[in-house]
Amino acid sequence: MTVDTAAFRHLTQAVIGAAIEVHRHLGPGLLESVYQECLAREMAARRLAFATQQSAPIVYKGVPLSAAYRLDLLVADLVVVEIKSVAALSPIHEAQTLTYMRIADCPVGLLINFNVPRLIDGVKRLVNGRASKGHFPPGAPRAAGRIAVTGAEASGTGVDQASVAVTPRAIDGPPDAY
């Protein structure tokens, strides 16, 4: 099955552009909280609709728990942005972000690691094909799984095809390979 990702491209491009601007000014090596605050300021300057530290309630077997996860950034109620400042992203970071997307019922996520020389090398775009918010365009096929695409929008080349094949893990490669 495939998922149409074109509907979310403008949002993810805007967030990635804001993150690149923050990285240009600050560089790598700071705390995640610093990048989060600066990214929020940059996104506000660009008039993007977002919330910081948005609470995402956790439901276990139909019962809401008193515990909740706080999303770093939630953009337009569609895109979960998870900010990292680590030596290298690992599969657990992707798994966490996909879990946050599932909990928040968001179709798209960005995992951004600011602790890299070039920010494009620290961006992973994730898609939750199981989101039920109805944000997929009418008639678009719904995926049974999920996909992860690394930084396609940030490269400036974009994706010619509107849909990407569903795989159970991230697709890695150079930015122009998406």
Which of 151, 136, 145, 156 is CA-nearest to residue 5? 136
pLDDT at 90 exceeding the cut of 90 = yes
What's the 3-state SS for 107-150?
Answer: CEEEEEECCCCCHHHHEEEEEECCCCCCCCCCCCCCCCCEEEEC
pLDDT-derived band at 155 (thresholds 50, 70, 90) equals: very low
Mean pLDDT, residues 72-88: 95
Domain that holds residue 140: 2-177
Residues near 119 by beta carbon (within 8 Å), at least 6 away in sequence:
19, 20, 23, 112, 154
Q: What type of residue is 3?
A: V
Mean pLDDT of the chain: 77
Name the β-bridge partners of 73.
52, 81
Cβ–Cβ under 8 Å, residues 125 and 148: yes
pLDDT at site 74 = 95
Share of the chain above pLDDT 90, in %: 56
Residue with tokens 């396609």: 152
pLDDT-derived band at 80 (thresholds 50, 70, 90) equals: very high
Q: Identify which has the larger pLDDT, 138 or 71.
A: 71
Question: What's the total number of domains in the chain?
Answer: 1
Cβ–Cβ under 8 Å, residues 67 and 101: no
Name the β-bridge partners of 110.
81, 125
pLDDT at site 132 = 76
Please tell me the pTM assigned to this model: 0.73
